[in-house]
A and B are shown apart, each in its own frame.
Chain A
Amino acid sequence: MDGWISLALPGAVAYASSLLGDREQGEDIVQDCVCRLLARAARYDLPRDGRKLLFRAITNACINRQTRARKTVSLDEHGRQPDGGAWGVEDVAATPPLAMALAEELRVAIGQGLQTLPLRQRSVLELSSLGWGAEEIGHLLDLQAENVRVILFRARKAMAAFLNARFPGGVTR
């Protein structure tokens, strides 16, 4: 399979998973988007532009999925028991240990903080952190670059507030 996919895929899954707040859905979206891109390989220079096209497709797909009117209910939720077990099976091995290392604690907090942001803010902040410029993000999200900067400013501010509330004394870094 194309090398550009291997290079772009882990970051793409992380990005999509963060936008959707769910790793499984994130992988699903990314796999779908890669397949769609490959189906149109003749129209693009994928080794050169594949990563950018993929992130663009993912962003649109995630926004579409998140803003879709109908709310779906997963089988897990459908069968969830009063004690919290999904059909009596729960991945307790994935439960973070009580004595979580600080780095892990911070990572979790960042993930949670991102989930508190509106989807557009989250997308802008994450794309910016990945090196996208305001113009590129604006083109992707159909926004003026200035609006992108405003959204980015708000996102940074909200995240800083979230993290400072979570770690009142800051953290050792």
Chain B
Amino acid sequence: MNGRTPFSEDQIEGLVRGYLDAEASEVDLARNLAEIGRRQRELNAGSVIPLATTSSKHWGRTGRRLAWRIGLAACVVVAIGVTSYMALSPEPASAYALVREAESALAAPVDRCYRVESEVPKVWRRGNPLLQDGDETRVWTRGDQFRVQTSDQGQQYNWGQDAQRRLWVVCDPQLGVRFDRQEVPPMLARTRTFLGLDVRQLAKKVLNDFDLHIAKVRSVTQQGGPHRLALVLATAKQGRPGNPFNTAQLEIDLTTKVIGSMELARVIDGEIKARFRFTLIDQAAQPAGSYELESQLQPGGRILGHDQSSERTEALRHVFESRREKR
């Protein structure tokens, strides 16, 4: 076999060195340095343990922390997912039926906007560039699509998921990054699933993890007519770790089956560690394409996708860093 030689033991270290060098050349130095800096700041900052750390030891630390940066913002969309949590809960039947109908209502391609209010520890907020205290955060949903808008000191941050389930983030009016469905970074994919953006998967995940029941029904007058609202309480079953929230309350209109408000909380030893409240504030139809990245950018805006992966990663990191620096 011309030009071909078997491997000798003398060559092994050279080959291994070449292998390690090649692997090293693919290391994202900037991202790692940024993460080291962040860890140092966190160590210096204090002792509040991010909820992700307590919620699951299954996550690698890097995955947990990076995932939570995006993920805390993602949880605004748990409004979609928790409906499925409960839809599959086996008891009681009335709560099951009600939430299942609410889930069907949410699955329809109807636009709904929820205002999001959050209470989380300061240290946790510092690690979350997309959802900060004092911001006004709104999430628009249409089926599996969503768009999160956060206002922060006059600046707006947008990210979401389009009809093709591609995750996108607006970096500035002229630049956005987008991950195809098949290439969403595993950390973000896990976060999206784990925190409720992937409704069906989330439903499977929590199928057996929550007890729920209807706590009360009250009558109100709104939009010119009487409505009956049911308050559904959900509590995570014991011994089922892995969910960021262990209690939830939903108020569902018994007529329209629309979720009017929902509160998700993580309670540890009777103390609320984190709480998110979603309130339905708008149901106006949104323009076509409003969940697409293109519609968030100015005409001629550039989109970094699969073919610009390094540049895309850097742009995303810049968004996180710039926001953190504002704080």
Binding site for B on A (CB under 8 A): 1, 5-6, 9-11, 13-15, 17-18, 24-25, 27-28, 30-32, 34-35, 38-39, 72-76, 78-79, 86-94, 106-107, 110-111, 114, 125-126, 128-130, 153, 155-157, 159-160, 163-164, 167, 169-173
Contacts and interface: CB of A to CB of B under 8 A. Distances in A.
Interface stretch (B5-13, B83-91, B127-135, B152-160): B5-13
Instruction: Give the most central of B4, B62, B193, B201: most A CB within 10 Å.
Output: B62
B190 interface: yes
B9 A110 contact: no
A27 B101 CA distance: 45
B182 A93 contact: yes
Contact of A74 (B25, B36, B60): B60
A5 B60 CA distance: 22
Given A14-B20, A35-B40, A72 B186 contact: no
B288 interface: no
B33 A126 contact: no
Contacts of B242: 75, 78
B189 A89 contact: yes
B284 interface: no
B220 interface: no
B58 A74 contact: yes
B108 interface: no
Interface of B: 1, 3-25, 27, 29, 32-33, 35-37, 39-40, 43, 56-63, 180-186, 189-190, 192-194, 198, 200-201, 205, 242, 306
B220 to A, nearest CB: 38
Given A87-B198, A170-B1, A74 B59 contact: yes
Closest 5 CB pairs of A and B: A14-B23, A89-B189, A10-B24, A14-B24, A93-B183
Contacts of A39: 43
Given A27-B32, A129-B14, A87 B7 contact: no
B271 to A, nearest CB: 25
Contacts of A28: 60-62
Q: DSSP majority for the A interface?
A: helix
Nearest to B190: A75
Nearest to B10: A156
A5 B18 CA distance: 21
B279 to A, nearest CB: 29
Given A15-B20, A79-B201, A107-B19, A35 B36 contact: yes
25 contacts: A5-B36, A6-B33, A9-B27, A9-B33, A14-B21, A18-B20, A18-B23, A25-B60, A27-B35, A32-B61, A35-B40, A35-B43, A38-B36, A72-B57, A74-B59, A79-B205, A86-B190, A89-B182, A89-B186, A89-B189, A89-B193, A91-B183, A107-B18, A129-B12, A171-B4
A128 B13 CA distance: 7
A84 to B, nearest CB: 13
Contacts of B181: 89
Contact of A9 (B3, B29, B57, B184): B29
Contact of B16 (A73, A79, A90, A126): A126
Nearest to B15: A110
B14 A34 contact: no
A94 B18 CA distance: 21
A129 to B, nearest CB: 4
Contact of A156 (B9, B20, B36): B9
Contacts of A34: 36
A22 B125 CA distance: 29
A24 B182 contact: no
Nearest to B185: A91
Given A10-B29, A128-B13, A156-B12, A27 B58 contact: no
